[in-house]
């Protein structure tokens, strides 16, 4: 680091050895002098260097040893490519070759099964375990080199393989994209395959994955959707400082994300999104528009002392109880999840306990030591947007607008409500796993949604229409870890 960065007051970044914000460089053929130049200018920002493919078998022996030592002396892990490990599996004895690699100075191994025609997942797991046992920093790779084979892998296949690799002892799992960035979470033209990416984000911890992303546009997308501490691989030696510049807001592509008045807003979905927001320490606005968020907001607006969310119906015990599953009132509840039927005379000054299908679980999942959880709906969208802005500005946090969804899938009414809140926040470039939904016919959208149709069939049409109304309340529920109470700006003075 130098004095310029200190004077700018920008984030200093973590020091090595890091567990997040990793950069893996693909060294295709650098000579000794180029390797020395790379180390002198960028060693602090490189965690691992991969000698691509099987090139480590082609260097003159003394050059290979010098290169490895140059990198190792700079605190950089060095590994041969995953394809080289597959060639060992095919042509040589794995244990003997691992011993030789260690003698040469390698301290990291990447294990893949991306091109070998018959290597099984069991074969891969065995090689991972051998590498770990020999003391290598071990990473694995999930995905196929050939696009036609990679496209056959569903997100479920990838998730299961990631989990198996982690159980076998790897430190990180690489998501295959190739040097070209045209497989995995990227399409053949290099653009993001957002459907696959979002499914992976929902089902695995993004911090456990090292995302191959060789182009600037791909790197920017990952930085803006996962955060500046995303792990990125297949970085060109000539792009290390470019990537680090973007991690710190020193390049136009991410500059505004680091401005003092910038508003980093993530659109997330369900419990998985709640957990990601909690890990980021965000101000989280939980939105379950039909109907939990609206009911909670209305309880607070009508004078309830507190609203206590519980996930289990058996915990639904208190002065006033509200409970539903699948839209229907729970037998042991005083009231169903209806914002219309609950009046001031029912809840004013009272302690309310609530359990609903999705909303309460999202509230609990979003709660952590560093996160702040609010409840939002169309009915309080301006007020909750302003509260989120105030808290985020005072605490230096990002904002997550979390759609609870229906059966772990995006629900049109939640997307619409989240989008309206985002519009009230203003000046936002949305990031995250959820696509905004802009609507000029909110009542129609709510009535025709899956949840809306279900509620209408159960006799709750008035609830659906009520939940589609914008800004009829200024009450903002905030969760203190045990209960929801009315937000007051003085809480964060």
State whether residue 131 is helix, strand or coil: helix
Question: Which residues are bridge partners to 210 per DSSP?
Answer: 174
Tokens (6 digits) for 181: 């960035």
User: According to the model, what pLDDT value does residue 258 have?
Assistant: 81
Which distant-in-sequence residues (6+ apart) come within 8 Å of 146 by Cβ? 115
Give 161: exposed, middle or buried? Use CB within 10 Å, 0-12, 13-18, 19+: buried
Q: Residues 102-134: pLDDT tens digits? A: 999 999 999 999 999 999 999 999 999 999 999
Nearest to 198 by CA among 141, 272, 277: 272
User: According to the model, what pLDDT value does residue 343 have?
Assistant: 82
Quick one: average pLDDT of 35-45?
A: 97
Residue 12 has pLDDT above 80, yes or no: no
User: According to the model, what pLDDT value does residue 1 have?
Assistant: 63
Q: According to DSSP H, which parts of 204-330 are helical?
A: 216-226, 240-247, 252-255, 270-280, 292-301
CA distance linking residue 492 with residue 482, whole number of Å: 18
Give 493: exposed, middle or buried? Use CB within 10 Å, 0-12, 13-18, 19+: exposed
Task: Pick the range with the lowest mean pLDDT from 42-46, 67-71, 84-88, 258-262.
Answer: 258-262
pTM, whole model, 2 decimals?
Answer: 0.72
C-beta of residue 139 within 8 angstroms of C-beta of residue 111: yes
Tokens (6 digits) for 483: 């209960």
User: According to the model, what pLDDT value does residue 89 have?
Assistant: 97
C-beta of residue 450 within 8 angstroms of C-beta of residue 440: no
Confidence of residue 11 (pLDDT cuts 50, 70, 90): low
Quick one: average pLDDT of 314-329?
A: 93
Task: Pick the range with the lowest mean pLDDT from 177-181, 224-228, 450-454, 466-470.
Answer: 224-228
77 to 136, 223, 268: CA distances (angstroms): 10, 23, 34
In degrees, rounded to 5, the angle at the alpha carbon of residue 49 between the alpha carbons of residues 47 and 52 is 155
How many CA atoms does the CB half-sphere of 277 hold within 13 Å?
36
Phi then psi for residue 296, to 5 deg, are -60, -45
Nearest to 451 by CA among 288, 261, 336, 207: 288
Q: Residues 184-197: pLDDT tens digits? A: 999 999 999 977 88
Residue 92 has pLDDT above 90, yes or no: yes
Give 469: exposed, middle or buried? Use CB within 10 Å, 0-12, 13-18, 19+: middle
Sheet of strand 399-403, all strands in order from the earlier edge strand to the far edge? 328-329, 320-325, 351-355, 306-309, 484-486, 477-479, 372-376, 283-287, 399-403, 265-269, 431-432
Confidence of residue 290 (pLDDT cuts 50, 70, 90): very high
Ramachandran region, residue 25 (left: φ > 0; alpha: ψ -120 to 50; beta: rest)? beta
Quick one: average pLDDT of 36-46?
A: 97
User: According to the model, what pLDDT value does residue 279 have?
Assistant: 85
Tokens (6 digits) for 297: 């907001």
CA distance linking residue 417 with residue 175, whole number of Å: 33
Which distant-in-sequence residues (6+ apart) come within 8 Å of 8 by Cβ? none
Tokens (6 digits) for 201: 């984000």
Chain-wide mean pLDDT for the chain? Answer: 94
CA distance linking residue 242 with residue 435, whole number of Å: 28
Quick one: average pLDDT of 307-334?
A: 93
Q: Residues 202-237: pLDDT tens digits? A: 789 889 999 999 999 999 999 988 888 999 999 999
C-beta of residue 12 within 8 angstroms of C-beta of residue 223: no
Give 162: exposed, middle or buried? Use CB within 10 Å, 0-12, 13-18, 19+: buried
C-beta of residue 380 within 8 angstroms of C-beta of residue 471: yes
Question: Which residues are bridge partners to 41 per DSSP?
Answer: none
Going by DSSP bridges, is the β-strand pair 77-80/108-111 parallel, antiparallel, or unpaired? unpaired
User: According to the model, what pLDDT value does residue 429 have?
Assistant: 73
User: According to the model, what pLDDT value does residue 50 have?
Assistant: 98
CA distance linking residue 421 with residue 389, whole number of Å: 11
Q: What secondary structure does DSSP assign to 316-385, as a single string? A: --SSEEEEEETTEEPTT-SB-S-TTT--HHHHTT-EEEEE-SSHHHHHHHH--SS-EEEEE-GGGHHHHH
Confidence of residue 432 (pLDDT cuts 50, 70, 90): confident
Residue 6 has pLDDT above 70, yes or no: yes
Phi then psi for residue 190, to 5 deg, are 90, -5
CA distance linking residue 374 with residue 132, whole number of Å: 44
Nearest to 304 by CA among 285, 316, 288, 321: 321
Residue 431 has pLDDT above 90, yes or no: no
């Amino acid at each position: 680091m130098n004095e310029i960065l200190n004077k700018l007051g920008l984030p200093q970044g973590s020091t090595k050895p890091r567990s997040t914000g990793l950069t893996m460089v693909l060294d295709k053929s650098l000579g000794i002098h180029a390797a020395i130049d790379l180390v002198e200018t960028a060693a602090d920002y490189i965690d691992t260097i991969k000698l691509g493919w099987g090139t480590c078998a082609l260097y003159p022996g003394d050059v290979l040893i010098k290169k490895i030592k140059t990198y190792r002396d700079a605190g950089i892990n060095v590994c041969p490519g995953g394809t080289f490990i597959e060639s060992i599996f095919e042509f040589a004895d794995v244990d003997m070759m691992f011993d030789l690699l260690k003698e040469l100075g390698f301290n990291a191994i990447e294990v893949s099964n991306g091109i070998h025609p018959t290597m099984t997942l069991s074969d891969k797991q065995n090689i991972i375990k051998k590498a770990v046992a020999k003391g290598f920093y071990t990473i694995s790779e999930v995905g196929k080199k050939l696009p036609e084979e990679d496209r056959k892998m569903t997100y479920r296949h990838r998730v299961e393989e990631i989990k198996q690799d982690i159980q076998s002892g790897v430190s990180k799992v690489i998501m295959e994209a190739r040097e070209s960035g045209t497989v995995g979470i990227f399409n053949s033209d290099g653009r993001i395959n957002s459907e696959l990416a979002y499914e992976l984000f929902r089902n695995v911890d993004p911090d456990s994955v090292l995302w191959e992303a060789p182009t600037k546009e791909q790197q920017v997308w990952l930085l803006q959707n996962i955060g500046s501490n995303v792990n990125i691989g297949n970085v060109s030696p000539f792009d290390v400082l470019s990537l680090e510049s973007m991690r710190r807001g020193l390049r136009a592509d991410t500059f505004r994300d680091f401005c003092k008045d910038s508003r980093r807003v993530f659109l997330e979905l369900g419990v998985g999104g709640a957990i990601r927001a909690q890990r980021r320490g965000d101000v989280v606005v939980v939105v379950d528009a039909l109907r939990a968020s609206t009911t909670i907001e209305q309880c607070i607006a009508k004078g309830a002392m507190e609203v206590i969310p519980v996930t289990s119906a058996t915990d639904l015990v208190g002065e006033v109880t509200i409970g539903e599953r699948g839209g229907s009132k729970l037998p042991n509840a005083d009231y169903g999840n209806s914002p219309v039927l609950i009046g001031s005379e029912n809840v004013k000054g009272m302690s309310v306990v609530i359990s609903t299908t999705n909303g309460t679980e999202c509230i609990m999942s979003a709660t952590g030591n560093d996160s702040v959880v609010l409840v939002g709906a169309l009915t309080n969208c301006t007020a909750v947007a302003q509260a989120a802005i105030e808290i985020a500005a005072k605490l230096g946090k990002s904002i997550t607008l979390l759609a609870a969804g229906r059966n772990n899938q995006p629900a049109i009414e939640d997307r619409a409500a989240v989008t309206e809140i985002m519009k009230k926040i203003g000046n936002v470039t949305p990031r995250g796993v959820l696509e905004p939904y802009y609507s000029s016919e909110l009542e129609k959208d709510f009535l025709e949604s899956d949840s809306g149709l279900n509620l209408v069939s159960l006799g709750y049409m008035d609830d659906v229409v009520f939940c589609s109304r914008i800004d009829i309340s200024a009450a903002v529920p905030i969760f203190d870890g045990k209960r929801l109470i009315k937000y007051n700006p003085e809480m964060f003075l």
